[in-house]
Structure 1
Amino acid sequence: MNQFFKIQDKPHLLDPHVLSEEPISIYKTIWQLCSENLFWILIFSAILLFSMVIFFLFRKKKNNPTNEDTEEVIDPYIEALEAIEELQKNKLKLGTKPFVFKLSEILRIYVQKQFNMPAMELTGEEFIIEIASNPFFSNTYEDLLKEFVDRGDRVKYSEETTDTSEINLLLDSALHFVKDTHSRITAQEKSSETEEPEDSKKR
């Protein structure tokens, strides 16, 4: 028997489906690379998109200031006068107590904005103490404001009917206070403006 045989003699050793041998490719196509790294590509794209959105929103906000930045600041003096004038127009519609409550609120808002005092957060007694400790008010408006607060509290919390003259006194006191303090502030500002050039000349 011949110990050597040809492979053709044993066809079961051959794969009939293999027609030819081809070398294995060591390079991958772009599509293969993308499909294998699809998860990381999506993560990177999401981060990039998010960064672009944040950038454009920040740029838009910087170029377009908000309404708060462009909102015109109203002079507390003008605001108080307009509020009192509007209150006077509605005097007949409002009851006595609501009228006095609103008038007191207008006065406190004016003090808070004009003099940087927490007037709206204080009780009547605390408000007077704060006024007395302020050199601008003491010995000038302290008695006027104390009388205004006391008279207003009597109207607001009393069950008795309030005379019209009492309401008019409160209204006159509020108007006098707003106008007179504004005049003093204006005079002080003008005085400081005239003093500055004189000081610069001396130097």
Structure 2
Amino acid sequence: MRGLFFFLFSLFCFSAFAQKPMVKAEIDTTNIRIGEQFNLKISVDEIQNVIIPKLQLKGLEIIDSTATDTLKNSLIRKYILTGFDSGAFYIPQQQIFVKNQAYLTDSLLVNVATVAVDTTKVKKFPIKSIKSEPYTFDDFKIYIYIVLAALAIIAFWIYWFVIRKRKEEEEEPTYRALPPYEEAIYRLNELDEKQLWQNNQTKEYYSELTEIVRGYIERELNVPALEKTTDEVLDMLKDFKDADVILTSQETIDKLKSLLREADLVKFAKSKPLAPEIEEDRKDAEDIISNLKPKPIVEEKDKEDGLE
């Protein structure tokens, strides 16, 4: 009975051991030089429900890897590894899952050696001097900005103190004031060219006509004739004539009185003189300007000299 029990137990253990999948990690070399490559192969003797996680390494690097391959009821994955630091590095145990059961591979040791250099066979070169970097815009931009600012200031100075001043001097009026008589005759001719009364602008015509006459009196006799009323202008001329300080006739003063009265009627009473009357007033205005003048001081002195 004991023998039968021992036989069944051994058979069960053997069966359980036989069903355990085998996972294995292999490398084709354990010694490399820096930068050399070697191969790692992980194999599992099972193809159903097998998971090979991402390879975990320390000090070594993966160059390439192949897809999982099936060969004789086994799964195989290959990796190409290398190392760039000298020393001994372990490929740690890798955890493989088979039918949701974790299995571990063996850890593997890889020695990475440096490459010996024979300095006696290496050609020596002299130490090179420091090479200067090429110039860029940033190296000169501060100087460019300073130059541009200086040019802008100079241009502004030239414009403000030279060109602008010269332009103002050129724009200054270069005309000379005409004598009172010449100015009045000139303005009368301008008034004729406007043809105001011919275009039913009689009020504007008389306003400008009397303004010309008053302006002449103001300039010629040095009195504010433009600011005075008609009666004030006539009284002032009467006083001048009585004082014998102007050269004119009573007829000229009467023409002035008639012209100013007519202008007042046109401007304020809306009177509308006929064309012959307007032409006559224009002629009277020119006669007034021609015959109304101040008495020369030189003549007064000559008279005094004659009396002596």
TM-score, normalization by structure 2: 0.37
Instruction: Please tell me whether the aligned partners of residues 96 and 162 of structure 1 are also in contact (alpha carbons under 8 angstroms).
Output: no
What 5-or-longer segments of structure 2 have no aligned partner? 1-113, 115-126, 243-252
Which residue pairs with 2:181 in the alignment?
77
Out of 275, 279, 285, the residue aligned to residue 174 of structure 1 is 285
Q: Which amino acid in the other structure matches residue 78 of structure 1?
A: E
Counterpart residue identity of residue 101, structure 1: S
**How far off is 1:106 after superposition?**
1.8
Distance in 1 of aligned mates of 2:260 and 2:164: 49
2:265 corresponding residue in structure 1:
154
SS at match of 2:198: coil
Shift, 1:51, TM fit: 1.3
Partners of 1:37 and 1:127 lie apart in 2 by 74
Q: 1:39 to 1:112 in 2, by over 3 A?
A: farther
1:104 alignment partner in structure 2: 210
More helix by share: 1
> Which residue of structure 2 lines up, in the alignment, with residue 13 of structure 1?
none
Report what 1:16 is aligned to.
Answer: none
The structure carrying a bigger strand percent of its residues is 2
**2:148 equivalent to 1:48:** no
Larger relative contact order (CA 8 Å, sep ≥ 6): 1
What is the CA distance between 1:46 and its match in structure 2? Answer: 0.6
Distance 2:176 2:206 in 1: 29
RMSD of aligned alpha carbons? 4.8
- Partner of residue 15, structure 1: none
Task: Give the corresponding residue for 1:139.
Answer: 239
Structure 1, unmatched stretches of 5+, are 1-8, 10-18, 199-203
Q: Is the 8 A contact 1:97 1:155 kept in 2?
A: yes
- Separation of aligned partners in 2, 1:43 and 1:191: 70
3-state SS in 2 of match to 1:93? helix
Query: How many pairs does the alignment contain?
Result: 162
Query: Identity over the aligned pairs, expressed in percent?
Result: 16
